[in-house]
Structure 1
Amino acid sequence: MKFDDADTVELKCKQLVDLIKSSNHTVVHTGAGISTQAGIPDFRGPKGVWTLEKKGEAPQINISFDDAIPTKTHMALKALIEQNKVHYIVSQNIDGLHLKSGISRTYISELHGNMYVDECSKCKRQFVRKEATKTVGKKSSGDICRGSLSLRPCRGGVLHDTILDWEHELPDNDLDLGITHSGIADLNIVLGSTLQIVPSGNLPIRNKKFGGQVVICNLQPTKHVGFFLLFFLQ
């Protein structure tokens, strides 16, 4: 694994700042790597779940999801959205830290679900949980549709978790919005993802055919070598 030295990182950061300033529509694609500082392991990193499993070792999880708090990266993204510098986030993460940071759901596509969000099986409305779900794979929580201030609960609606299993299709609305924003972006920025899982891993390069630019910040190279403008190894 190769690491950029401090001077190279500083230079690339300045270049990234210039790209963000000149961009009219910036989309950030986030993977598990942005949550490692919160104590949540990633998958393919040096201490990732799958990396350690290949060695016959168990991942070190030092915190529960309910106790995990947003990292500096999560809070920086919130600030950039508030300043109209970042316009949308496409996330592969299910840890709910974007939601905890205070970013409105209208700015996020959560492609693989959220352990703090349940969905009604009938009306498809979503509800935020106080504690992380104990199920995965769109299983019933046993709760019924609660409705909202303006809409009554639907009859027969049962809540289930929103976390996808391998056989599930990505949620249509989140995927459609992710595709649209990624395609029209002047700048797609990837943070903490090897982009191995498709179709989410292919979204950041959708803007290339329209002259858009791609920046990738990750601990290791991704499969999209040759598509990015800047690559951070730090």
Structure 2
Amino acid sequence: MQCSSQKCLDRQITLDSARVEVKTPLPRGKLSGNWRNNFLVSWGSTGNAVFHRTCWDFLVKAVQARSKPDVTISAAEKALIKEAAKTAEYHDSLNYLKQEAAKVAKLIKESSHCVAFTGAGISTAAGIGDYRGKEGKWTEQDQSIVDIGSLIDHGVLTPPQKCIVEDDLKGSDEEGTDGIPYEELRPTYTHEALYKLMQEGKVAHIISQNGDGLHGLSGVPGEHLSELHGNVFIEKCGKCQKRYKRSYYVMDDVSSQYYEELEGEGKTDIKRPRHAQKCKLCGLCHRTGRKCNNGKCHGFLEDTIINFRDNLEKEILETAEANAVQCDLMLCLGTTLQVTPACDLVDLIQKSGTLLICNRQKTDRDRKCSQKGLNGIRVYGDCDTLMRAVMKQLLLSTDMENWDRERVERMKHYDKQRDETK
């Protein structure tokens, strides 16, 4: 990789370089004049750029400077850099990451109640896109409405009257952000590492904000897993509350789309399914079209996914809270810690406890890692890279080799589980 800053004296970026990756919305069409003249950044064709950490910090400081900065930046490029800053993904050097992994491994060994708190970032390697970051779902949607040409010309953000959603953002909810059906997703290295640590008694509980079902597929038993936002493979009876774990995606997206179009556009070409019922909270449909087979119940089955405005399931939240309170080491992996009330659980760990945050984006709780009384660790980068380094510290070399080799068989086991129709 090469640093995108034209002012960089050593453009080469190696694995031992702390780097920042960003993406900005380039102007649609041509602006008047040669607007790329004298740019300080070599922006990629899609608006991507990568920098040494020091080079990026220099650019941001220059853009934010109230007095005359050390370098001249055009109004056009200031606009691009400001938008890019919203997407910044940070990566620590490999050497630093290994040093911190050794500390994490030591803390895991000494912990009496270690809890993992996971987000979308641990599933990106499986094929699911995250939400915030340079390629995140919400980032792309935000950037799709930015009229960067107007921003450059007038110095203010002027979004179009109607949100523009690019074609590659559309598609069925039955697929992950990158178009991979949920049934084809498999646990990542981080999923498997957490289950391995749980098997060895080193991780007591996992609190997850993900609905992809990958923790359960990796082997984590339900009693040690709090899926705060539900699971696309689990449906429950709205009457007797019996839960059904399926090998297939349970949600009825057609019914939800029916209500969504009526709400947003006032009309729809979709014929309302007979079982459909609008949720009073989220406005979508939770019914899946199947019925409970529990005795004489036969109530309508509902998906367990928590949509915007839905309430979290009380029992699941209470179990998560109980484990967070007991926690003396919390591993926050792949989450920007923005969604409440889930992220509030991080604040419940013991006052003398330790907080690890591993994520590519900055979070509002990064300061807790350096807060007095907390032996916090902050790592910027991919969770799989960190966890691989942690596992090398915790496992004997022969055990590590065997475990890595057995991944092929584990994949076959996952395939079998997803192929089974329950």
Question: For the residues of structure 2 that align with 1:7 and 1:37, how far apart are their CA atoms?
Answer: 22
In the other structure, the counterpart of 2:180 is: 63
In the other structure, the counterpart of 2:91 is: 3
Query: Does 165-174 or 19-28 show the bigger shift?
Result: 165-174
In the other structure, the counterpart of 1:222 is: 363
1:116 partner letter: F
Question: For the residues of structure 1 that align with 2:121 and 2:364, how far apart are their CA atoms?
Answer: 16
Over 3 Å counting, the alpha-carbon distance change for 1:123 and 1:154 in structure 2 is farther
In the other structure, the counterpart of 2:222 is: 105
How far is the alpha carbon of 1:225 from its aligned partner? 2.6
Question: For the residues of structure 1 that align with 2:317 and 2:95, how far apart are their CA atoms?
Answer: 38
Encode CA deviations 1:55-98: one digit per residue, 9 max, x unaligned. Answer: 21545614211111111111111111100000000000001111
User: Which residue of 29, 33, 44 corresponds with 2:132?
Assistant: 44
Query: Does 134-143 or 114-123 show the bigger shift?
Result: 134-143
2:377 partner letter: L
1:55 partner letter: Q
In the other structure, the counterpart of 1:213 is: 354
Question: What's the secondary structure of 1:24's corresponding residue?
Answer: coil
In the other structure, the counterpart of 2:161 is: none
Conserved? CA contact 2:326–2:350, under 8 Å = no
Encode CA deviations 1:138-167: one digit per residue, 9 max, x unaligned. Answer: 6111222123xxxxx352422110011111
In the other structure, the counterpart of 1:233 is: 380
What is the aligned length?
A: 228
Question: For the residues of structure 1 that align with 2:293 and 2:354, how far apart are their CA atoms?
Answer: 43
User: Which residue of 115, 118, 121 corresponds with 2:232?
Assistant: 115
In the other structure, the counterpart of 1:185 is: 327
Question: What's the secondary structure of 1:226's corresponding residue?
Answer: helix
User: Which residue of 61, 80, 93 corresponds with 2:210?
Assistant: 93
Conserved? CA contact 1:122–1:154, under 8 Å = no
In the other structure, the counterpart of 1:150 is: none
Question: Identity over aligned residues, as a percent?
Answer: 35
TM-score, length-normalised on structure 1? 0.92
User: Which residue of 124, 146, 164 corresponds with 2:241?
Assistant: 124
Alignment RMSD (CA, Å): 1.5
Question: For the residues of structure 2 that align with 1:135 and 1:208, how far apart are their CA atoms?
Answer: 41
Conserved? CA contact 1:114–1:163, under 8 Å = yes
Q: Which has the higher contact order (CA 8 A, sep 6+)?
A: 1
TM-score, length-normalised on structure 2? 0.52
Query: Does 7-16 or 97-106 show the bigger shift?
Result: 97-106
Return the structure number with greater strand share. Answer: 1
Query: Do residues 140 (structure 1) and 287 (structure 2) align?
Result: yes
Query: Do residues 28 (structure 1) and 175 (structure 2) align?
Result: no
Conserved? CA contact 2:327–2:350, under 8 Å = no
Question: For the residues of structure 2 that align with 1:94 and 1:119, how far apart are their CA atoms?
Answer: 15
Question: For the residues of structure 1 that align with 2:296 and 2:101, how far apart are their CA atoms?
Answer: 50
Question: What's the secondary structure of 2:357's corresponding residue?
Answer: strand
The structure with the largest alpha-carbon Rg is: 2
Structure 1 unmatched ranges of 5 or more: 148-152
What are the residue-to-residue correspondences of 1:135-174 with 2, within 5 Å?
135=252, 139-147=286-294, 153-174=295-316
Question: What's the secondary structure of 2:139's corresponding residue?
Answer: helix
Over 3 Å counting, the alpha-carbon distance change for 1:121 and 1:214 in structure 2 is same
Question: For the residues of structure 1 that align with 2:242 and 2:197, how far apart are their CA atoms?
Answer: 28
How far is the alpha carbon of 1:208 from its aligned partner? 4.2
Structure 2 unmatched ranges of 5 or more: 1-19, 21-89, 145-165, 170-176, 254-283, 370-375, 382-422
Conserved? CA contact 1:189–1:204, under 8 Å = no
Query: Do residues 18 (structure 1) and 110 (structure 2) align?
Result: no
Question: For the residues of structure 1 that align with 2:188 and 2:366, how far apart are their CA atoms?
Answer: 28
How far is the alpha carbon of 1:3 from its aligned partner? 2.3
Return the structure number with greater helix share. Answer: 2
Query: Does 16-25 or 63-72 show the bigger shift?
Result: 63-72
In the other structure, the counterpart of 2:281 is: none
Question: For the residues of structure 2 that align with 1:108 and 1:162, how far apart are their CA atoms?
Answer: 15
Question: For the residues of structure 2 that align with 1:44 and 1:177, how far apart are their CA atoms?
Answer: 27
1:159 partner letter: L
Conserved? CA contact 1:69–1:97, under 8 Å = yes
In the other structure, the counterpart of 2:29 is: none
In the other structure, the counterpart of 1:81 is: 198
Question: What's the secondary structure of 1:85's corresponding residue?
Answer: coil
Conserved? CA contact 1:32–1:43, under 8 Å = yes
1:202 partner letter: D
